[in-house]
Chain A
């Protein structure tokens, strides 16, 4: 299973973290520090796997962002690379050629997408289209609720005028 997902910028700033195994806040900080130290310094042609504390961390760099996932020793590293790519493609489709700033200002949306992709550290959907559809449906639910709220507050505002 995937124990955690990290998005780290080239400067070592954390852009997204998702923990599927329990790590205390202190451990999390330490993990992030250790891994960004060993991953960000690796050369571009090296393999995308780092062995770390008996686990493996699979990472892939997209522009200025490193996508990292930590897995067990006997998991399939190559598949994780595909999962990372899958995630990136969905993000790309959702934001329309995604960039780091999209993920900073709309970090919660990135999390929503990740939650449609992974649960309990396992992949839940192999179709990008399905994920996009589910996210769109939930976004529109939120929009509808907002409109309703604003129309109510308008009505109240008009009524109290």
Chain B
């Protein structure tokens, strides 16, 4: 015998593991034990298999690998004795699950055991099958389980019923086999069988409509009677729990009735009385009783309308809600969420209590209550409820603030009655919990602010106040800085004062102060600093008197280690310093952002037209050198006196490339240098400004605003650099600088068409396009042209691509190709490149057709796809 395998007893192993003081010690003990067990396994030691399996289970529970013991389970199950089988099945259920291939090997043993004469062995097999069977096993063993539903011993019948649940969940097709035997289980007396039988019927109803119909017809009255008998049954100690006879069976019957009554008036009618009885008679001072009431309320809420019962149910929930026990309050909130769709008036009555629950000390209850409040809010109560929530925001715990802030923002956006209220509430939220506000929320706020032209002055003054008191809230500072940059003059001149405002005197240098504080604050991140720089630049135009001071602040960032800041600082200080005559036009106020497009964007409904036709080739009078400054001005996003100024590029400026990872360093450097060229090397300002309108005019394109807003709403997308060149003029331009700045065609939108295939008889051309926001997918419009004088019939195009590509072919426009190019067939292909940016497209194609009733086959490989697809 192996010297190890006689080893330690299970008890001793557990003791020595518990005695370990460090994890390393524990690992050492486990290693030794595992070695011994492996040795025993390889010797096929039967005497200690029982003990070894038990040890393995313990080791498994501690989280160590035990796969080497899997076969031992099977051997143990296959052995004849009950003790071996018992431990074998237990180990099987613990060490394996339905996804292991090994499990299939046990199917046969289980089948034999299901037919065993010893009922306890049958029980073990059923238990294992019910707990871990896979779909294949379910299929193989369903007939056995079906038979066992009629076994003489009720304890086997109940196990078989639960096993059947697992089987029909794994293989829904088998449901119909179990309908009849399940129905007969409902006639039993044994509580275990009833309990499991009702459960099986409920699950069958959920899986199969036939089952639902059948049970509704045959079992509704029976189940109502069962529940009535149970509710009126005399005291039975075996099933009694705190004065209630078998609450588990109660609950299952109520669940079953719920399924039967849902969507069926007759069935609902027949259960009205018993539900009323359960709802009124059940004791509610113990958990068991409350569990039944809770289930009963759920059933009343789900079955067809009976207003009397609903009142009863809502009253129970009201009682629950004022209960001192947190569990009861939790389930009440949970159920009120369902009740709100049925009777929102009744739920509204409990509004104050629910609002109190939002402030509970228990996180689970708070979360539930907040969800519920969110559902409760409508136009009429939004103001007081929002006030409550915002007041609570001030005192709430940090870990709850994220959820709460998101919900408040969503409420304010959805229900705001007017813009001034919206802006007020958002400013409150930003100043309380600005750090928890998501980017799209404050972006939306800015869009709203720009659209509310009569509130610009009011907003900037309010922001000025709150930024001074809550300067540590990042997003508040961003919105504040942006508004001060845009509307700084209104701040100082007190333009558009509303009668509700308190008077405020701000000097120009106060306004600059606040931006300076923001940019110098230690915790300000890159985005905020970058926005501050833009604001300073804007202020330099609004307050010419402060421009020297502004230049000093900007100059401090010329040495910033962050490229983005450094670049902005250098560019802006040149603008402030050297280009005074164009400055004021450059930094004009942003035009109104398109609210509809933005909200459409946020909602995810994107107009498909975005991708095409962008930067048109630039026609420049002054030769190659000047090509550079056009996109640069564009890039800087300065507003030029144009009928439709290119305002969106401001956002470019703010959002694109703000993160240091956003653009490859190469082009950025190049660009930086070129910019220096432009701004410092003797380009007379006059010439510069005169060329600007020319250059920019072709770019004024409504579509571009959509693109930029795209970046506004999802800055992350642009950071990835995944945006197809066409949809991001800025990145485009940068790329252009990298290799050949004088090639404006690169900036063009569409990929060039290619002739994918050409033979003496046929020409295939591909046109490419991309969907915005989905750079991986290319849409190819394939055109087939006949070069011969015979027309082709039964024309079919087939294509094959390697694994990293996914190809989808739409139907062709026709299968007849007329002769001499007198018409063509077009077919659309959609290719998704999972290795976009790493590998380019490649395709094999085959074209078959009949010419003069003769079959022709042409094949070819297409590898000259344009780069970047």
A residues whose Cβ falls under 8 Å from a Cβ of B: 14-20, 22-25, 29, 43, 45-51, 74, 76-79, 81-83, 86, 104-105, 107-108, 111-112, 115, 119-120, 122-130, 134, 137-138, 141-142, 145-146
- Chain B contacts for A108, CB-based, 8 A: 54, 57, 87, 90
Partner of A115, one of B90, B287, B328: B90
A47:B365 contact, CB within 8 angstroms: yes
B479 within 8 A of A: no
A76:B251 contact, CB within 8 angstroms: yes
**Nearest CB in chain A: distance from B758 CB, A:** 53
**Nearest CB in chain B: distance from A148 CB, A:** 9
Interface residues of B in 222-256 (CB under 8 A from A): 238-239, 241, 246-249, 251
27 residue pairs of the A-B complex, CB under 8 angstroms, read: A14-B63, A18-B131, A29-B63, A43-B361, A45-B326, A46-B326, A48-B326, A76-B298, A77-B327, A78-B290, A79-B295, A81-B327, A82-B247, A82-B291, A105-B14, A112-B86, A119-B159, A122-B162, A122-B165, A125-B195, A126-B191, A126-B195, A126-B239, A130-B155, A138-B82, A138-B120, A142-B86
A16 — nearest CB in chain B belongs to which residue? B61
A49:B364 contact, CB within 8 angstroms: yes
A78:B291 contact, CB within 8 angstroms: yes
Q: Looking at the complex, which of B93-101, B348-356, B374-382, B814-822 is the stretch in contact with chain A?
A: B93-101
List 18 additional contacts besides A22-B99, A49-B327, A124-B162; criterion CB under 8 Å.
A14-B61, A46-B362, A46-B364, A76-B294, A78-B287, A82-B248, A82-B291, A83-B248, A108-B90, A115-B93, A115-B131, A119-B162, A119-B166, A124-B192, A125-B191, A129-B238, A134-B155, A137-B120
Partner of B61, one of A107, A122, A138: A107
Given A78-B294, A79-B247, A145-B81, A105 contacting B159 (CB threshold 8 A): no
Q: In the complex, A45 Cα to B362 Cα: how many Å?
A: 9
Interface residues of B in 181-203 (CB under 8 A from A): 191-192, 195-196, 199
A115 — nearest CB in chain B belongs to which residue? B127
**Nearest CB in chain B: distance from A86 CB, A:** 8
- Chain A contacts for B291, CB-based, 8 A: 76, 78-79, 81-82
A111 — nearest CB in chain B belongs to which residue? B90
B48 within 8 A of A: no
- Chain B contacts for A22, CB-based, 8 A: 97-99
Interface string of B236-279 (1 = CB under 8 A from A): 00110100001111010000000000000000000000000000
Given A112-B86, A126-B191, A20 contacting B131 (CB threshold 8 A): yes
Given A105-B14, A108-B87, A119-B126, A46 contacting B361 (CB threshold 8 A): yes
Q: In the complex, A120 Cα to B334 Cα: how many Å?
A: 26
- Chain A contacts for B294, CB-based, 8 A: 76, 78
B163 within 8 A of A: yes
- Chain B contacts for A86, CB-based, 8 A: 241, 248
**Nearest CB in chain A: distance from B350 CB, A:** 18
Residues of B within 8 A of A (CB-CB), count? 67
B569 within 8 A of A: no
Interface residues of B in 31-56 (CB under 8 A from A): 54
Q: In the complex, A102 Cα to B580 Cα: how many Å?
A: 86
A107 — nearest CB in chain B belongs to which residue? B58
- Chain A contacts for B666, CB-based, 8 A: none
B330 within 8 A of A: yes
Given A126-B248, A130-B155, A104 contacting B163 (CB threshold 8 A): no
Report, nearest first, the 3 A-B pairs whose CB atoms are least far apart: A78-B291, A47-B326, A119-B130
**Nearest CB in chain A: distance from B696 CB, A:** 51
B134 — nearest CB in chain A belongs to which residue? A22
- Chain A contacts for B130, CB-based, 8 A: 119-120
**Nearest CB in chain A: distance from B141 CB, A:** 14
Q: Which of A20, A23, A74, A123 has the most CB of B within 10 A?
A: A123
B329 within 8 A of A: yes
B393 within 8 A of A: no
Partner of A127, one of B58, B90, B191: B191
Q: In the complex, A115 Cα to B199 Cα: how many Å?
A: 17
Q: In the complex, A78 Cα to B284 Cα: how many Å?
A: 12
B367:A51 contact, CB within 8 angstroms: yes
A45 — nearest CB in chain B belongs to which residue? B326
**Nearest CB in chain B: distance from A45 CB, A:** 7
Partner of B11, one of A17, A105, A130: A105
- Chain B contacts for A29, CB-based, 8 A: 63
A125 — nearest CB in chain B belongs to which residue? B192
**Nearest CB in chain A: distance from B172 CB, A:** 15
B665 within 8 A of A: no
Interface residues of B in 595-632 (CB under 8 A from A): none
B290:A124 contact, CB within 8 angstroms: no
Q: In the complex, A88 Cα to B358 Cα: how many Å?
A: 33
Q: In the complex, A29 Cα to B62 Cα: how many Å?
A: 10
**Nearest CB in chain B: distance from A126 CB, A:** 4
A28 — nearest CB in chain B belongs to which residue? B63
Q: In the complex, A145 Cα to B99 Cα: how many Å?
A: 34
Q: In the complex, A78 Cα to B251 Cα: how many Å?
A: 10
B18 within 8 A of A: yes
**Nearest CB in chain B: distance from A94 CB, A:** 16
Given A76-B294, A120-B131, A81 contacting B82 (CB threshold 8 A): no
**Nearest CB in chain A: distance from B348 CB, A:** 23
B417 within 8 A of A: no
B717 within 8 A of A: no
- Chain A contacts for B329, CB-based, 8 A: 47
Given A14-B61, A105-B11, A130-B192, A120 contacting B367 (CB threshold 8 A): no
**Nearest CB in chain A: distance from B245 CB, A:** 10
Partner of B330, one of A47, A115, A123: A47
**Nearest CB in chain A: distance from B324 CB, A:** 10
Q: In the complex, A85 Cα to B92 Cα: how many Å?
A: 27
B519 within 8 A of A: no
**Nearest CB in chain A: distance from B715 CB, A:** 28
- Chain A contacts for B251, CB-based, 8 A: 76, 79
- Chain A contacts for B362, CB-based, 8 A: 45-47
**Nearest CB in chain B: distance from A154 CB, A:** 15
Q: In the complex, A130 Cα to B155 Cα: how many Å?
A: 9
A120:B246 contact, CB within 8 angstroms: no
Q: In the complex, A124 Cα to B294 Cα: how many Å?
A: 21
Given A81-B287, A104-B14, A123 contacting B195 (CB threshold 8 A): yes
B87:A79 contact, CB within 8 angstroms: no
- Chain B contacts for A104, CB-based, 8 A: 14, 18
Interface string of B54-90 (1 = CB under 8 A from A): 1001100111010000000000000001110011001
B288 within 8 A of A: yes
A51:B238 contact, CB within 8 angstroms: no
Interface residues of B in 321-374 (CB under 8 A from A): 326-331, 334, 361-365, 367
B461 within 8 A of A: no
A50:B247 contact, CB within 8 angstroms: no
- Chain B contacts for A115, CB-based, 8 A: 90, 93, 127, 131
B568 within 8 A of A: no
A126 — nearest CB in chain B belongs to which residue? B248
A126:B90 contact, CB within 8 angstroms: no
B241 — nearest CB in chain A belongs to which residue? A82
Q: In the complex, A138 Cα to B122 Cα: how many Å?
A: 12
B158 within 8 A of A: yes
**Nearest CB in chain A: distance from B57 CB, A:** 7
A47:B364 contact, CB within 8 angstroms: yes
Interface string of B137-150 (1 = CB under 8 A from A): 00000000000000
**Nearest CB in chain B: distance from A21 CB, A:** 9
A122:B196 contact, CB within 8 angstroms: yes
- Chain B contacts for A46, CB-based, 8 A: 326, 361-365
- Chain A contacts for B158, CB-based, 8 A: 124-125
**Nearest CB in chain A: distance from B526 CB, A:** 33
Q: In the complex, A86 Cα to B14 Cα: how many Å?
A: 28
Q: In the complex, A144 Cα to B196 Cα: how many Å?
A: 31
Q: In the complex, A121 Cα to B166 Cα: how many Å?
A: 9
**Nearest CB in chain A: distance from B135 CB, A:** 12
**Nearest CB in chain A: distance from B262 CB, A:** 13
Partner of A126, one of B14, B81, B155, B192: B192
